[in-house]
């Protein structure tokens, strides 16, 4: 599903050059759940952004589902992204002006799904996530856990092949955090590939394997005991 070869990402400003990803090679199979760990500044988020096609590569190869993405224009990347990828963020990133329903609907909107089908799919999704009662609420009216559930709903509404989660539990207490992890594990069980950045070793263990980053390189890789159900 995801395969990189000597992937580099360099940030340049007028005075300095920062190498965020350094000849990174990673291979992720369809249906895998991969946790990414590492200290601040090790390149975790950059990796997620590049793999999620939010950001371009500086050099190296990046194959997504057989496509060579590193040669794509921004427009092509965006197109590939909206068809294949969903995102979950630490800070939820819901749009404050939109209701729960409208936030979840948004990706379908951009995929130009017809209105009736959009409503049907979003209603089903909200039901499934147990937040149907909140459909007309605005994000500020929800608890953190509920907000993240909306965010996850929004990430999966378009049936993406891969979900990128950037510290999805970072802003949640432990019980809400656990709930979100269960959601992700469930999605993974249904076949969605998940790549998750986390600081928490406990949550990392929910993945099939954990990749450790340091200074933009993979320094260690461990297969976890058994995936949680």
Partner 1 sequence: MFWSYVKITVRNVIRQKLYSAINILGLAIGVAACITIILYVQEELSYDRYHEKADRIYRVALSARIGGNDFNVALSAAPIAGTLLEEFPEVETTTRIGYLGGYPVIRYGDKVFSEERYTTADSTIFDVFDIPFIIGDPKTALTQPNSLVLTESTARRYFGDENPIGKLMTSDKVNERMVTGVIKDFPHNSHFHYDFLLSLATSPDSRSTNWLNNNYHTYIVLKEGASAEELEAKFPDMIRKYVGPQVEQALGVSWDQMAEDGSSYEIFLQPLTDIHLHSHLDREIEVNGNITYIYIFSIIAAFILIIACINFMNLASARSASRAREVGIRKTLGSNRGMLVRQFLIESIVLTFASVVLAVILVLLILPWFNNQVGLQLSFRYSNLPWIVLGTILVGILAGSYPAFFLSSFNPVIVLRGTMKSSGRGSRLRSSLVVFQFTISIILFTSTIMVRNQLDYVQEKNLGYAPENLLVVEKTDDIGQQIQAFKLELAEQNSVLEVTNSTCIPGEPPSGESVFGMSTPTGDQYQILAMYFTDFNFLNTYGMKMAEGRFFSKDFSMDSNTVVINQAAVEAYGVEDPVGKELIVFGGPDNQNARIPIIGIIQDFHFESLHSPIRPMVIVPYRTRIFGGPGPTFGRYTTLRIQPYDISATLASVEAIWAGFALDQAFEYTFFEDNFNALYNNEFRTQTLATMFSVLAIFVACLGLLGLASFTAEQRTKEIGIRKVLGATVPGIFTLLSRDVLNLVLISALLSLPISWYAMNNWLENFAYRIGYSLLTFIIASLVALVIAVFTVTWQVIKAATTNPITALRYE
Where do contacts with partner 1 occur on this chain (CB under 8 A)? Answer: 45, 49, 54-55, 75, 78, 81-82, 87, 89, 93-98, 102, 106-107, 109-111, 154, 158
Which one, 80 or 132, has the nearer CB to partner 1? 80
Residue 215 contacts residue 22 (beta carbons within 8 Å): yes
Minimum CB distance to partner 1, residue 134 (Å) = 17
Which one, 28 or 106, has the nearer CB to partner 1? 106
Minimum CB distance to partner 1, residue 220 (Å) = 26
Minimum CB distance to partner 1, residue 166 (Å) = 9
Can you give the length of the chain in residues? 229
Residue 88 contacts residue 163 (beta carbons within 8 Å): yes
Which one, 24 or 48, has the nearer CB to partner 1? 48
Query: Would you call 109 exposed, middle or buried from its count of C-beta atoms within 10 A (0-12, 13-18, 19+)?
Result: exposed
| Angle of helix 174-189 versus helix 144-156 axis, rounded to 10 | 20
User: Distance of CA 167 to CAs 50, 84, 90, 102, Å?
Assistant: 16, 20, 5, 24
Minimum CB distance to partner 1, residue 47 (Å) = 12
Which one, 8 or 54, has the nearer CB to partner 1? 54
Which one, 32 or 55, has the nearer CB to partner 1? 55
Minimum CB distance to partner 1, residue 223 (Å) = 30
* DSSP 8-state assignment for residue 226: -
Residue 44 contacts residue 197 (beta carbons within 8 Å): yes
CA dihedral angle for residue 180, residue 144, residue 146, residue 83, rounded to 10 degrees: -60
Minimum CB distance to partner 1, residue 221 (Å) = 25
CA-CA distance, 109 to 129, in Å (whole number)?
Answer: 20
Query: Per the structure block, which two tokens stand in for 106?
Result: 């948004």
Which one, 154 or 212, has the nearer CB to partner 1? 154
Residue 219 contacts residue 39 (beta carbons within 8 Å): no
């Amino acid at each position: 599903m995801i395969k990189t070869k000597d992937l580099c990402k360099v940030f340049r400003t007028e005075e300095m050059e920062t190498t965020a990803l350094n000849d990174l090679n990673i291979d992720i199979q369809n249906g895998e759940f991969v946790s990414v760990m590492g200290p601040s500044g090790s390149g975790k988020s950059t990796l997620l952004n590049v793999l999620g096609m939010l950001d371009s590569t500086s050099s190296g190869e990046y194959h997504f589902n057989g496509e060579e993405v590193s040669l794509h224009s921004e427009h092509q990347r965006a197109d590939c992204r909206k068809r294949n990828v969903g995102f979950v963020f630490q800070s939820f990133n819901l749009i404050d002006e939109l209701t729960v329903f409208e936030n979840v609907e948004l990706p379908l909107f951009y995929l130009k799904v017809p209105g009736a089908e959009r409503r049907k799919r979003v209603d089903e999704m909200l039901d499934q996530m147990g937040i149907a009662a909140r459909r007309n609420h605005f994000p500020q009216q929800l608890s953190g856990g509920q907000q993240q559930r909306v965010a996850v709903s929004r990430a999966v509404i378009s049936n993406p092949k891969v979900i990128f989660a950037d510290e999805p539990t970072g802003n949640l207490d432990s019980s809400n955090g656990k709930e979100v992890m269960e959601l992700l594990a469930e999605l993974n069980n249904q076949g969605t590939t998940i790549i998750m950045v986390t600081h928490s070793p406990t949550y990392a263990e929910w993945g099939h394997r954990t990749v450790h980053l340091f200074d933009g390189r993979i320094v260690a890789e461990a297969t976890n005991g058994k995936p949680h159900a």
